[in-house]
Amino acid sequence: MKKEMMRRTEHIWYPYTQMGDNFSPKLVEEAKGVNLKINGQWVIDGISSWWSVLHGYNHHSLNDALKIQIDKFSHVMIGGLIHEPAIELAKSLSSICGGLLNRVFFSDSGSVGIEVAIKLSIQYWMNKKKPNKTKMICFKKSYHGDTTGAMSISDPEDSMHHIFSPILMKHHFFEAPSSDPDIKQGQLKTLDVFLSKRHEEIAAIIIEPLVQCAGGFNFFEADYLDDLRYLSDKYNVLLIYDEVATGFCRTGSFFAYHQSKTEPDILVCGKGLTGGYLGLAATITSDKVFRAFYEKSKPEKAFMHGPTFMGNPLACSLAIKSIELATKNNYSDKFLKIQKILEEELAGFTHSLIKGIRIKGGIGVIEVHNKSDIEGFGDYSFNRGAWLRGFESFIYTMPPAIIEEHDVRKITRIMKDYFLGKK
Ligand SMILES: Cc1ncc(COP(=O)(O)O)c(C=O)c1O
Protein backbone atom coordinates (compact mmCIF):
# COMPACT_ATOMS: atom_id res chain seq x y z
CA MET A 1 0.00 0.00 0.00
CA LYS A 2 2.75 2.47 0.98
CA LYS A 3 4.79 1.73 -2.17
CA GLU A 4 1.68 2.04 -4.35
CA MET A 5 0.87 5.50 -2.90
CA MET A 6 4.44 6.68 -3.40
CA ARG A 7 4.32 5.54 -7.03
CA ARG A 8 0.94 7.20 -7.65
CA THR A 9 2.07 10.54 -6.27
CA GLU A 10 5.51 10.58 -7.86
CA HIS A 11 4.82 13.92 -9.57
CA ILE A 12 3.87 15.72 -6.36
CA TRP A 13 6.44 17.72 -4.40
CA TYR A 14 5.31 17.70 -0.76
CA PRO A 15 5.87 20.58 1.65
CA TYR A 16 8.10 20.36 4.74
CA THR A 17 8.88 16.72 3.95
CA GLN A 18 11.99 14.71 3.25
CA MET A 19 10.41 12.55 0.60
CA GLY A 20 13.45 10.31 0.53
CA ASP A 21 12.51 9.00 3.95
CA ASN A 22 9.96 6.28 4.41
CA PHE A 23 7.16 8.64 3.44
CA SER A 24 3.67 7.81 2.33
CA PRO A 25 0.83 10.36 2.02
CA LYS A 26 -2.74 9.43 2.83
CA LEU A 27 -5.32 9.80 0.09
CA VAL A 28 -8.48 11.61 1.19
CA GLU A 29 -11.55 10.11 -0.48
CA GLU A 30 -14.24 12.23 1.16
CA ALA A 31 -14.53 14.88 3.84
CA LYS A 32 -17.63 15.73 5.84
CA GLY A 33 -18.13 17.59 9.11
CA VAL A 34 -14.98 17.10 11.18
CA ASN A 35 -14.10 13.83 9.46
CA LEU A 36 -11.85 12.74 6.63
CA LYS A 37 -12.33 9.41 4.83
CA ILE A 38 -8.99 7.75 4.15
CA ASN A 39 -8.73 4.15 2.87
CA GLY A 40 -12.42 3.73 3.61
CA GLN A 41 -11.91 4.70 7.26
CA TRP A 42 -13.36 7.90 8.76
CA VAL A 43 -10.98 9.79 11.07
CA ILE A 44 -11.45 13.05 12.99
CA ASP A 45 -9.42 15.93 11.60
CA GLY A 46 -7.92 17.32 14.80
CA ILE A 47 -5.90 20.03 13.07
CA SER A 48 -8.47 21.58 10.70
CA SER A 49 -6.27 21.34 7.60
CA TRP A 50 -3.57 23.57 8.96
CA TRP A 51 -5.98 25.44 11.25
CA SER A 52 -8.15 26.79 8.48
CA VAL A 53 -11.36 24.73 8.63
CA LEU A 54 -13.92 26.32 10.94
CA HIS A 55 -17.32 24.87 10.06
CA GLY A 56 -16.18 21.41 9.04
CA TYR A 57 -15.88 20.00 5.54
CA ASN A 58 -18.59 20.02 2.93
CA HIS A 59 -20.76 22.54 4.73
CA HIS A 60 -24.05 23.04 2.88
CA SER A 61 -24.26 26.83 3.41
CA LEU A 62 -20.70 27.37 2.24
CA ASN A 63 -21.27 25.04 -0.71
CA ASP A 64 -24.38 27.04 -1.62
CA ALA A 65 -22.55 30.39 -1.33
CA LEU A 66 -19.93 29.06 -3.73
CA LYS A 67 -22.49 27.70 -6.19
CA ILE A 68 -24.46 30.95 -6.27
CA GLN A 69 -21.33 32.99 -7.02
CA ILE A 70 -19.92 30.50 -9.53
CA ASP A 71 -23.06 30.91 -11.62
CA LYS A 72 -22.48 34.67 -11.71
CA PHE A 73 -18.72 34.80 -12.32
CA SER A 74 -15.68 33.09 -10.77
CA HIS A 75 -13.13 35.83 -11.08
CA VAL A 76 -12.47 39.37 -12.22
CA MET A 77 -9.41 41.49 -11.52
CA ILE A 78 -9.77 44.08 -8.79
CA GLY A 79 -7.51 46.63 -10.56
CA GLY A 80 -9.97 49.15 -12.01
CA LEU A 81 -12.89 46.73 -11.44
CA ILE A 82 -14.61 45.71 -8.25
CA HIS A 83 -17.43 43.32 -7.31
CA GLU A 84 -20.13 43.01 -4.66
CA PRO A 85 -18.57 40.13 -2.64
CA ALA A 86 -15.33 42.12 -2.13
CA ILE A 87 -17.25 45.28 -1.19
CA GLU A 88 -19.44 43.41 1.28
CA LEU A 89 -16.56 41.45 2.82
CA ALA A 90 -14.41 44.57 3.30
CA LYS A 91 -17.35 46.23 5.06
CA SER A 92 -17.92 43.20 7.25
CA LEU A 93 -14.24 42.94 8.30
CA SER A 94 -14.11 46.64 9.06
CA SER A 95 -17.23 46.38 11.19
CA ILE A 96 -15.78 43.40 13.14
CA CYS A 97 -12.74 45.57 13.85
CA GLY A 98 -15.00 48.28 15.27
CA GLY A 99 -14.57 50.55 12.25
CA LEU A 100 -11.07 51.61 13.33
CA LEU A 101 -9.28 49.31 10.92
CA ASN A 102 -11.28 50.25 7.89
CA ARG A 103 -9.31 49.69 4.66
CA VAL A 104 -8.91 46.17 3.38
CA PHE A 105 -6.22 45.05 0.94
CA PHE A 106 -7.01 41.53 -0.26
CA SER A 107 -4.49 38.89 -1.28
CA ASP A 108 -4.48 35.14 -1.71
CA SER A 109 -2.57 33.65 1.24
CA GLY A 110 -1.42 34.52 4.73
CA SER A 111 2.20 34.88 3.62
CA VAL A 112 1.29 37.36 0.91
CA GLY A 113 -0.94 39.24 3.37
CA ILE A 114 2.16 39.56 5.56
CA GLU A 115 4.31 40.75 2.64
CA VAL A 116 1.68 43.42 2.03
CA ALA A 117 1.81 44.48 5.69
CA ILE A 118 5.62 44.75 5.59
CA LYS A 119 5.61 46.77 2.38
CA LEU A 120 2.77 49.01 3.55
CA SER A 121 4.53 49.82 6.81
CA ILE A 122 7.81 50.65 5.07
CA GLN A 123 6.17 52.77 2.38
CA TYR A 124 4.04 54.47 5.02
CA TRP A 125 7.20 56.04 6.41
CA MET A 126 8.61 56.78 2.94
CA ASN A 127 5.41 58.67 2.14
CA LYS A 128 5.84 60.54 5.42
CA LYS A 129 9.39 61.51 4.39
CA LYS A 130 11.08 59.20 6.88
CA PRO A 131 12.76 56.78 4.47
CA ASN A 132 15.16 55.41 7.09
CA LYS A 133 12.35 53.66 8.94
CA THR A 134 12.65 50.30 7.20
CA LYS A 135 13.35 47.77 9.96
CA MET A 136 10.89 45.61 11.81
CA ILE A 137 10.82 44.60 15.44
CA CYS A 138 10.01 40.89 15.60
CA PHE A 139 9.97 38.13 18.19
CA LYS A 140 11.67 34.82 18.63
CA LYS A 141 9.32 31.85 18.19
CA SER A 142 7.37 33.83 15.59
CA TYR A 143 6.25 32.39 12.29
CA HIS A 144 4.72 34.62 9.64
CA GLY A 145 4.90 32.51 6.48
CA ASP A 146 7.24 31.06 3.88
CA THR A 147 7.73 33.92 1.39
CA THR A 148 10.99 35.83 1.58
CA GLY A 149 9.76 38.90 3.47
CA ALA A 150 7.74 36.72 5.86
CA MET A 151 10.77 34.49 6.49
CA SER A 152 12.84 37.55 7.35
CA ILE A 153 10.51 38.43 10.24
CA SER A 154 10.10 34.84 11.51
CA ASP A 155 12.36 33.33 14.20
CA PRO A 156 15.79 33.38 12.53
CA GLU A 157 17.48 30.64 14.55
CA ASP A 158 15.07 27.93 15.61
CA SER A 159 12.74 28.14 12.64
CA MET A 160 12.61 25.95 9.57
CA HIS A 161 13.86 28.93 7.57
CA HIS A 162 17.20 29.37 9.27
CA ILE A 163 19.15 28.08 6.24
CA PHE A 164 17.97 31.10 4.28
CA SER A 165 19.19 33.65 6.82
CA PRO A 166 22.17 34.75 4.66
CA ILE A 167 19.84 36.15 2.01
CA LEU A 168 17.11 37.58 4.23
CA MET A 169 16.61 41.23 5.11
CA LYS A 170 17.94 41.84 8.62
CA HIS A 171 15.45 42.91 11.25
CA HIS A 172 15.59 43.15 15.04
CA PHE A 173 14.54 40.14 17.11
CA PHE A 174 13.54 40.13 20.78
CA GLU A 175 12.76 37.32 23.21
CA ALA A 176 9.39 35.60 22.74
CA PRO A 177 6.78 37.34 24.94
CA SER A 178 6.60 35.84 28.41
CA SER A 179 3.51 35.37 30.58
CA ASP A 180 5.62 35.64 33.71
CA PRO A 181 5.00 39.23 34.97
CA ASP A 182 8.62 39.76 36.10
CA ILE A 183 10.18 38.42 32.92
CA LYS A 184 7.65 40.39 30.90
CA GLN A 185 8.59 43.66 32.63
CA GLY A 186 12.25 43.01 31.81
CA GLN A 187 11.42 42.24 28.18
CA LEU A 188 9.41 45.43 27.78
CA LYS A 189 12.14 47.47 29.42
CA THR A 190 14.68 46.05 26.94
CA LEU A 191 12.38 46.97 24.09
CA ASP A 192 11.82 50.45 25.50
CA VAL A 193 15.56 51.09 25.79
CA PHE A 194 16.17 49.76 22.28
CA LEU A 195 13.41 51.90 20.78
CA SER A 196 14.60 55.00 22.60
CA LYS A 197 17.91 54.68 20.73
CA ARG A 198 16.84 53.19 17.38
CA HIS A 199 13.23 54.25 16.68
CA GLU A 200 14.34 56.39 13.73
CA GLU A 201 15.09 53.20 11.80
CA ILE A 202 12.04 51.18 12.90
CA ALA A 203 8.96 50.95 10.67
CA ALA A 204 6.83 48.58 12.75
CA ILE A 205 6.53 45.99 15.46
CA ILE A 206 4.95 42.72 14.28
CA ILE A 207 3.50 40.04 16.54
CA GLU A 208 1.05 37.11 16.57
CA PRO A 209 -1.40 38.11 19.32
CA LEU A 210 -1.70 35.79 22.35
CA VAL A 211 -0.48 32.62 20.63
CA GLN A 212 2.69 32.36 18.61
CA CYS A 213 1.85 29.26 16.61
CA ALA A 214 4.13 27.45 14.17
CA GLY A 215 7.31 29.08 15.54
CA GLY A 216 7.00 27.33 18.89
CA PHE A 217 3.50 27.54 20.38
CA ASN A 218 4.34 30.28 22.86
CA PHE A 219 1.29 31.64 24.68
CA PHE A 220 1.17 35.04 26.39
CA GLU A 221 -1.29 37.43 28.02
CA ALA A 222 -3.30 40.19 26.34
CA ASP A 223 -1.76 43.00 28.41
CA TYR A 224 1.49 42.41 26.49
CA LEU A 225 -0.31 43.83 23.46
CA ASP A 226 -1.38 46.89 25.44
CA ASP A 227 2.25 47.49 26.37
CA LEU A 228 3.37 47.10 22.76
CA ARG A 229 0.74 49.62 21.72
CA TYR A 230 2.07 52.04 24.34
CA LEU A 231 5.64 51.64 23.05
CA SER A 232 4.54 51.97 19.41
CA ASP A 233 2.84 55.26 20.19
CA LYS A 234 5.68 56.50 22.37
CA TYR A 235 8.29 55.92 19.66
CA ASN A 236 6.21 56.51 16.57
CA VAL A 237 6.36 53.05 15.02
CA LEU A 238 3.46 51.09 13.53
CA LEU A 239 2.02 48.01 15.21
CA ILE A 240 1.08 44.98 13.10
CA TYR A 241 -0.91 42.01 14.37
CA ASP A 242 -0.62 38.75 12.45
CA GLU A 243 -3.94 37.00 13.13
CA VAL A 244 -3.56 34.49 10.29
CA ALA A 245 -3.64 31.62 12.78
CA THR A 246 -5.43 33.21 15.75
CA GLY A 247 -8.31 34.92 13.90
CA PHE A 248 -11.90 33.77 13.49
CA CYS A 249 -12.64 33.01 17.13
CA ARG A 250 -9.97 30.35 17.70
CA THR A 251 -8.64 31.94 20.89
CA GLY A 252 -12.09 32.72 22.29
CA SER A 253 -12.70 36.15 20.74
CA PHE A 254 -13.29 37.01 17.09
CA PHE A 255 -9.72 38.25 16.79
CA ALA A 256 -7.25 37.45 19.56
CA TYR A 257 -6.42 41.14 19.96
CA HIS A 258 -10.03 41.78 21.04
CA GLN A 259 -8.93 40.41 24.43
CA SER A 260 -6.58 43.38 24.77
CA LYS A 261 -7.58 47.03 25.22
CA THR A 262 -6.01 48.28 22.02
CA GLU A 263 -5.94 48.07 18.24
CA PRO A 264 -3.07 47.62 15.82
CA ASP A 265 -2.38 49.90 12.86
CA ILE A 266 -2.38 46.91 10.52
CA LEU A 267 -4.05 43.53 10.94
CA VAL A 268 -3.45 40.48 8.75
CA CYS A 269 -5.85 37.54 8.59
CA GLY A 270 -6.17 34.50 6.33
CA LYS A 271 -6.64 30.75 6.89
CA GLY A 272 -10.11 30.65 8.53
CA LEU A 273 -11.28 33.70 6.55
CA THR A 274 -13.06 31.47 4.00
CA GLY A 275 -13.86 28.83 6.61
CA GLY A 276 -10.96 26.83 5.17
CA TYR A 277 -12.39 26.47 1.65
CA LEU A 278 -10.17 28.67 -0.54
CA GLY A 279 -7.06 30.82 -0.27
CA LEU A 280 -7.80 34.40 0.76
CA ALA A 281 -6.09 36.88 3.07
CA ALA A 282 -6.86 40.42 4.16
CA THR A 283 -4.44 43.11 5.30
CA ILE A 284 -6.59 45.64 7.10
CA THR A 285 -5.29 49.11 7.96
CA SER A 286 -6.40 52.05 10.02
CA ASP A 287 -7.38 55.31 8.42
CA LYS A 288 -4.10 56.81 9.66
CA VAL A 289 -2.12 54.34 7.53
CA PHE A 290 -4.40 54.72 4.52
CA ARG A 291 -4.18 58.53 4.57
CA ALA A 292 -0.40 58.39 4.09
CA PHE A 293 -0.97 56.82 0.65
CA TYR A 294 -3.88 59.03 -0.40
CA GLU A 295 -3.10 62.30 -2.17
CA LYS A 296 -4.17 63.98 -5.36
CA SER A 297 -1.63 63.93 -8.20
CA LYS A 298 0.98 61.92 -6.29
CA PRO A 299 1.15 58.56 -8.10
CA GLU A 300 4.44 57.79 -6.37
CA LYS A 301 2.58 57.57 -3.06
CA ALA A 302 0.26 54.80 -4.29
CA PHE A 303 0.79 51.24 -3.09
CA MET A 304 2.28 49.22 -5.96
CA HIS A 305 1.08 45.72 -5.21
CA GLY A 306 -1.73 43.64 -6.70
CA PRO A 307 -1.86 39.84 -6.73
CA THR A 308 -3.78 38.53 -9.77
CA PHE A 309 -6.32 36.68 -7.67
CA MET A 310 -6.69 39.27 -4.91
CA GLY A 311 -10.24 39.39 -3.59
CA ASN A 312 -11.37 36.49 -5.75
CA PRO A 313 -15.21 36.62 -5.76
CA LEU A 314 -15.65 32.92 -4.96
CA ALA A 315 -13.35 33.26 -1.95
CA CYS A 316 -15.03 36.53 -0.85
CA SER A 317 -18.51 34.95 -1.10
CA LEU A 318 -17.34 32.09 1.07
CA ALA A 319 -15.78 34.49 3.58
CA ILE A 320 -19.01 36.50 3.89
CA LYS A 321 -20.96 33.31 4.61
CA SER A 322 -18.26 31.97 6.92
CA ILE A 323 -18.22 35.15 9.03
CA GLU A 324 -22.02 35.13 9.15
CA LEU A 325 -22.00 31.52 10.45
CA ALA A 326 -19.24 32.19 12.98
CA THR A 327 -21.03 35.25 14.33
CA LYS A 328 -24.56 33.83 14.31
CA ASN A 329 -23.47 30.62 16.02
CA ASN A 330 -21.13 32.37 18.48
CA TYR A 331 -17.94 30.53 17.60
CA SER A 332 -15.97 32.37 20.27
CA ASP A 333 -18.18 30.62 22.77
CA LYS A 334 -17.76 27.31 20.99
CA PHE A 335 -13.98 27.60 21.17
CA LEU A 336 -14.19 28.54 24.85
CA LYS A 337 -16.22 25.36 25.42
CA ILE A 338 -13.54 23.38 23.61
CA GLN A 339 -10.97 25.10 25.85
CA LYS A 340 -12.87 23.88 28.91
CA ILE A 341 -12.82 20.28 27.68
CA LEU A 342 -9.13 20.50 26.77
CA GLU A 343 -8.44 21.84 30.26
CA GLU A 344 -10.43 19.06 31.92
CA GLU A 345 -8.64 16.41 29.90
CA LEU A 346 -5.12 17.72 29.53
CA ALA A 347 -4.31 20.38 32.10
CA GLY A 348 -3.49 17.98 34.93
CA PHE A 349 -1.86 15.33 32.77
CA THR A 350 1.80 14.67 33.49
CA HIS A 351 4.38 12.30 32.05
CA SER A 352 8.15 12.19 32.21
CA LEU A 353 8.41 12.84 28.44
CA ILE A 354 6.24 15.96 28.67
CA LYS A 355 7.79 19.39 29.18
CA GLY A 356 4.59 21.41 29.27
CA ILE A 357 0.94 21.65 28.27
CA ARG A 358 -0.66 24.85 26.97
CA ILE A 359 -4.29 25.54 26.18
CA LYS A 360 -5.99 28.62 24.79
CA GLY A 361 -9.43 28.58 23.15
CA GLY A 362 -9.52 25.76 20.63
CA ILE A 363 -5.76 25.22 20.77
CA GLY A 364 -4.27 22.43 22.89
CA VAL A 365 -0.54 21.80 22.82
CA ILE A 366 1.73 19.25 24.47
CA GLU A 367 5.45 20.00 24.35
CA VAL A 368 7.92 17.16 24.91
CA HIS A 369 11.57 17.33 26.00
CA ASN A 370 12.86 15.39 22.98
CA LYS A 371 11.28 15.58 19.57
CA SER A 372 12.34 11.98 18.85
CA ASP A 373 9.75 10.89 21.42
CA ILE A 374 6.85 11.93 19.19
CA GLU A 375 8.16 10.53 15.93
CA GLY A 376 5.52 7.81 15.65
CA PHE A 377 2.65 9.94 16.92
CA GLY A 378 1.01 10.66 13.53
CA ASP A 379 0.64 6.97 12.64
CA TYR A 380 -0.41 6.11 16.18
CA SER A 381 -3.23 8.64 16.24
CA PHE A 382 -4.34 7.79 12.71
CA ASN A 383 -4.71 4.14 13.69
CA ARG A 384 -6.75 5.26 16.69
CA GLY A 385 -9.11 7.36 14.53
CA ALA A 386 -7.73 10.92 14.45
CA TRP A 387 -5.62 12.88 12.00
CA LEU A 388 -3.08 14.61 14.22
CA ARG A 389 0.58 15.35 13.61
CA GLY A 390 3.58 16.14 15.67
CA PHE A 391 5.99 18.81 14.57
CA GLU A 392 9.28 19.77 16.15
CA SER A 393 8.73 18.98 19.85
CA PHE A 394 4.95 19.51 19.83
CA ILE A 395 1.81 17.53 19.37
CA TYR A 396 -1.30 19.63 19.25
CA THR A 397 -4.94 19.87 18.32
CA MET A 398 -6.80 22.79 16.73
CA PRO A 399 -10.11 21.25 15.68
CA PRO A 400 -12.93 22.93 13.73
CA ALA A 401 -15.38 24.96 15.85
CA ILE A 402 -18.22 22.52 15.17
CA ILE A 403 -16.48 19.54 16.77
CA GLU A 404 -18.62 17.66 19.30
CA GLU A 405 -17.51 17.17 22.88
CA HIS A 406 -17.03 13.39 22.51
CA ASP A 407 -14.69 13.94 19.55
CA VAL A 408 -12.58 16.42 21.52
CA ARG A 409 -12.37 13.86 24.32
CA LYS A 410 -11.41 11.19 21.79
CA ILE A 411 -8.56 13.37 20.54
CA THR A 412 -7.26 14.05 24.05
CA ARG A 413 -7.62 10.36 24.95
CA ILE A 414 -5.42 9.48 21.97
CA MET A 415 -2.85 12.10 22.98
CA LYS A 416 -2.69 10.85 26.56
CA ASP A 417 -2.70 7.15 25.63
CA TYR A 418 0.25 7.77 23.34
CA PHE A 419 2.32 8.80 26.35
CA LEU A 420 0.88 6.23 28.71
CA GLY A 421 1.90 3.53 26.20
CA LYS A 422 5.48 4.77 26.49
CA LYS A 423 5.86 4.07 30.21
C1 LIG B 1 0.72 33.33 12.08
C2 LIG B 1 0.86 32.95 10.65
N3 LIG B 1 1.12 33.91 9.74
C4 LIG B 1 1.24 33.63 8.43
C5 LIG B 1 1.09 32.34 7.96
C6 LIG B 1 1.23 32.04 6.50
O7 LIG B 1 -0.03 31.75 5.95
P8 LIG B 1 -0.13 30.94 4.58
O9 LIG B 1 0.27 29.54 4.87
O10 LIG B 1 -1.58 31.06 4.20
O11 LIG B 1 0.77 31.60 3.60
C12 LIG B 1 0.82 31.31 8.87
C13 LIG B 1 0.69 29.92 8.42
O14 LIG B 1 0.69 28.98 9.18
C15 LIG B 1 0.71 31.63 10.25
O16 LIG B 1 0.47 30.68 11.17
Q: What is the pLDDT of residue 224?
A: 98
pLDDT tens readout for residues 167-189: 999 999 999 999 999 999 999 99
State the angle between helix axes of 313-328 and 331-342 in degrees (0 to 180), rounded to the nearest 10.
70
pLDDT of residue 99: 84
Site to probe by mutation for ligand 1, drawn from 47, 118, 144 as the one with most ligand atoms within 8 Å of Cβ, is 144
C-alpha distances (whole Å) from 283 to each of 112, 225, 286 are 9, 19, 10
CA of 213 to the centre of ligand 1 (A): 9
pLDDT at 5 exceeding the cut of 80: no
Q: In the CATH scheme, what is the code of domain 2-58+330-420?
A: 3.90.1150.10
Residue percentage of the chain with pLDDT more than 90: 92
Would residue 241 show up in a list of annotated catalytic residues for this protein? Answer: no
Residue 15 is predicted with a pLDDT of: 93
301 catalytic, yes or no?
no
- Rounded to an integer, the average pLDDT of 17-46 is 94
Of the candidates 133, 135, 184, 271, the residue annotated as catalytic is 271
Question: Tell me, what's the pLDDT at 109?
Answer: 98
Q: Which of 271, 267, 270 is nearest to 283 (CA)?
A: 267
With a cut of 80, say whether residue 114 has pLDDT above it.
yes
User: Which residues of 278-340 form beta strands (DSSP E)?
Assistant: 281-286
Residue 344: band (very low, low, confident or very high) from pLDDT cuts 50, 70, 90: very high
Mapping DSSP to helix (H, G, I), strand (E, B) and coil, where does residue 37 land? strand
27: Cα within 13 Å, side-chain hemisphere: 12
Q: What is the mean pLDDT of the chain?
A: 96
pLDDT at 121: 98
| CA of 50 relative to ligand 1 center, distance in Å | 9
Rounded distance from Cα 360 to ligand 1 centre (Å): 18
Q: Residue 354: is its pLDDT beyond 70? A: yes
pLDDT at 160 over 80: no
pTM of model > 0.85: yes
Amino acid at 119: K
Higher pLDDT, residue 160 or 333: 333
Neighbours of 408 (CB within 10 A): 25
CA atoms within 13 A on the CB side of 352: 3
> pLDDT tens-digit profile of 223-277?
999 999 999 999 999 999 999 999 999 999 999 999 999 999 999 999 999 999 9
The three-point CA angle 415-395-161 to 5° equals 170
How far apart are the CA of 219 and the centre of ligand 1, in A? 17
Architecture of domain 73-328: 3-Layer(aba) Sandwich (3.40)
- pLDDT-derived band of residue 80, with 50, 70 and 90 as boundaries? very high
Return the pLDDT at 1. Answer: 66
User: In the chain, what are the domain boundaries?
Assistant: 2-58+330-420, 73-328
Full DSSP string of 163-218: GGGGGSPP-EEEPPP-SSHHHHHHHHHHHHHHHHHHGGGEEEEEE-SSEE-TTT-E
Check 242, 265, 373, 407 and give the catalytic one: 242
143 is catalytic: yes
pLDDT at 157 (0 to 100): 79
Choice from 50, 143, 206 to test ligand 1 binding pocket (greatest atom count within 8 A of CB): 143
Q: What percent of the chain has pLDDT over 70?
A: 100
